[in-house]
Structure 1
Amino acid sequence: MPAPPVGVVGLGQLGGSLAAALVAAGRPVQGWDVDPAARDAAAARGVQITRELSGVVVLAVPLTAMAGALDGLTIDPDATVTDLGSVKRPVLESVGRTLGGRYVGGHPMCGTERSGHAAVDPGLFTGARWALCLEPDTELPRWLRVAEVAMAAGAEVVPVTATEHDDAVAAISHVSHLLAAALAAAAAQAGPLALALAAGSFRDGTRVIGSDPAFVRAMVEGNAGPTASALARVHQQLARPWAELVADGHAVVTRQGGRRTVRVPLDRAALLSLGRAGGAVTHRLAAFVEGWVPEDRAPEDRLPDRA
């Protein structure tokens, strides 16, 4: 069967990059954006600009606009709807409540501090992890359709629940934005000499807070509970003896480990086990998906090579 079309609502950096990647992969892509310049840029890349969307519909709009993203558009009644939002529980409670099993929450772990259609990069998703939510009422065939879209764009799919996703990204993404803001503000308090001497480590540590402040606020406030818990863990780490803290942090980021290929049946529990083990899906097979888990996991946490 031919792959279903993909309709992208919002053609800025993420949505425009996804549309461009899928066009390059040979997928039929429709799209819409309220900005005429974004529509024109997408059309020049081979996207069919239309308000009538079908197949897999991707909401690539800010969190604050997610609930009304489909207003004024004609969506095929059988379309599967997903999103690229950085927080999942609020979208599940709004879009998911309306669409039920037709909605599959998603979040590609990529992007830069830039935004808008001028920041489109067809290679943005290559090698990226793409969290894809499997809730109790998620229809597995629809989950697989969205997973195939993510993999067609070059990403690896991590099966999660919305709650697991929000807890995890609070620790590795949302707190990072707050720490970057704090580092920048503290350096400014130190005076112009400190800022004049700032080099690579300061630039790397503050890069993400160059993002649109409205985007960052919506992200951390939309995931306030998990972000506060993750920030508390950072405070606890900073209270440790500095030598121990430096050694432990260094060990985490320099740890080497390989990947072990696994095949997982098309079953919600098995897929979620793959994600919880730190692995990802890379290919769709007939009755399985193929993926990997980290090689250095404890034996009791390992998945079988063949399910």
Structure 2
Amino acid sequence: MPAPPVGVVGLGQLGGSLAAALVAAGREVRGWDVDPAARDAAADRGVRVTRELAGVVVLAVPLPVTAGALDGLDVDPAATVTDLGSVKGPVLASLGPRLGGRFVGGHPMCGTERSGHEATDPGLFRGAPWALCLEPGTELSRWLRAAEVALDAGAEVVPVTAAEHDDAVAAVSHVPHLLAAALAAAAGEAGPLALSLAAGSFRDGTRVIASDPAFVTAMVEGNAGPTAAALARVRAQLDRPWPDLVTAGHAVRAASAGRRPVRVPVDRPALLALGRAGGAVTRRLAAFVEGWVPEGA
């Protein structure tokens, strides 16, 4: 049975990269963007530019406009709808009542500080974790269709709930954006000499705050509760004796857990258990998925 077509709404860095990756994987890809230049760039990469979307429809638009992203488009009422937004609770709250079990929240962990269709990279998703939300009302068959899109793009699928996702990314994505902003602002206050001496550690520590400020603000404010809690944990760490802090941080960063291959049935508890153990899905079989979990999990 052929894979259903994929429709991508928003053809900037993430959407354009996804569309290009799926074309390379042999999927039929349709797409739309309000920007004519983004549409032209996608068409040059083999995307059929149209407002008529079906199969699996992916919303690759900024968080503030996600709720209205399908307005004005001709979307098959049987289509599965997923998204690429960096916060899942608010998106689920806005789209869930409208789409029901055919909405599957998603978030690939692979963006960069660049944006726009000029930043398209078909290899962007290769090996990246892609969180895919499995809520009590999510139709499992539609979750699998969304998972196949992620796998075809080269990503590894991490089954989660929206709440689990938002708690986790607050710690590893949203707080780092705030810390990068604080580090850059503090260095600016230190004066031009400090900035002229800034090298690798400063560049790496501040890279993500080169992102569009509106994007970062929407992300952290959209996940305000978990981000505040995660930031409080960072503040508590900074209050520790510095040698203890350095040692503890180094131990976490230097740890290299091996991977153990697993095969789990396609059912909600087994998939969520895989994600909660820190594992991911790498391949879809008939009644099973293959993937991995960390050694010892």
| Range class of TM-score, shorter chain | over 0.9
Aligned residue runs from structure 1 range 266-281, under 5 A: 266-281=266-281
The residue that corresponds to 2:77 in the other structure is 77
Hey, what's the Cα distance between the residues in 2 that align with 1:113 and 1:97? Answer: 32
1:151 to 2:151 alignment:
yes
Q: How does 1:100-139 map to 2 (within 5 A)?
A: 100-139=100-139
1:1-307 → structure 2 map (5 Å cutoff) = 1-295=1-295, 297=296, 302=297
Q: Distance in 1 between matches of 2:112 and 2:131?
A: 17
Shift of 1:122: 0.1
User: By how many angstroms is 1:98 displaced?
Assistant: 0.6
Quote the Cα distance in structure 2 between the aligned partners of 1:272 and 1:257.
Answer: 20
What is the distance in 1 between the residues matched to 2:21 and 2:120?
A: 10
What letter corresponds to residue 125 of structure 1 in structure 2?
F
Shift of 1:286: 1.1
* SS, match of residue 154 in structure 1: coil
Aligned to 2:135, the other structure's residue is in SS state coil
C-alpha displacement of 1:97: 1.6
TM-score, normalised relative to structure 2? 1.00
RMSD (Å), alpha carbons = 0.4
TM-score (norm 1): 0.96
Q: SS of 2:78's equivalent?
A: coil
Shift of 1:60: 0.1
Q: For residues 152 and 274 of structure 2, what CA distance do their matches in structure 1 show?
A: 20
What stretches of structure 1 of length at least 5 have no aligned partner?
Answer: 303-307
Deviation at residue 95 of structure 1 after TM alignment: 1.0
Structure 1 residue identity aligned to 2:117: H
CA distance in 2, matches of 1:270, 1:249: 32
Distance 1:184 1:152 in 2: 37
Give the match's secondary structure for 1:178. helix
Q: Kindly state the Cα deviation for residue 16 of structure 1 after the two structures are TM-superposed.
A: 0.1
**What's the CA shift for 1:257?**
1.6
Aligned mates of 1:52, 1:285 — CA distance in 2: 30
C-alpha displacement at 1:274, in angstroms? 0.2
Shift of 1:147: 0.2
Cα-to-partner distance string for 1:13-45 (whole Å, 9 max, x where unaligned)? 000000000000000000000000000000000
Return the alpha-carbon distance in structure 2 between the equivalents of residues 185 and 163 of structure 1.
31
Gaps of 5+ in 2: none
Aligned residue type for 2:233: R
How far did residue 66 of structure 1 move? Answer: 0.1
Matched residue SS, 2:148: helix
Name the CA distance, whole Å, in 1 between partners of 2:97 and 2:239.
42
Residue identity matched to 2:210:
G
- Alpha-carbon deviation of 1:229? 0.1
How far apart in 2 are the matches of 1:286 and 1:44?
Answer: 35
Q: Secondary structure at the match of 2:291?
A: strand
Distance in 1 between the 2:267 and 2:43 partners?
38
1:28-75 per-residue CA deviation (whole Å, 9 max, x = no partner) reads: 000000000000000000000000000000000000010000010010
Give the partner amino acid of 2:194: A
Separation in 1, partners of 2:116, 2:286: 38
Query: Does the residue aligned with 1:202 lie in a helix, a strand or coil?
Result: helix
Between 1:250-259 and 1:36-45, the stretch displaced more is 250-259
SS across alignment from 1:131: strand
Structure 2 Cα separation of the partners of residues 138 and 12 of structure 1: 27
Q: Which amino acid aligns with 1:172?
A: V
Aligned-pair identity (%): 81
Local SS of the residue matching 2:232: helix
CA distance in 2, matches of 1:256, 1:6: 36
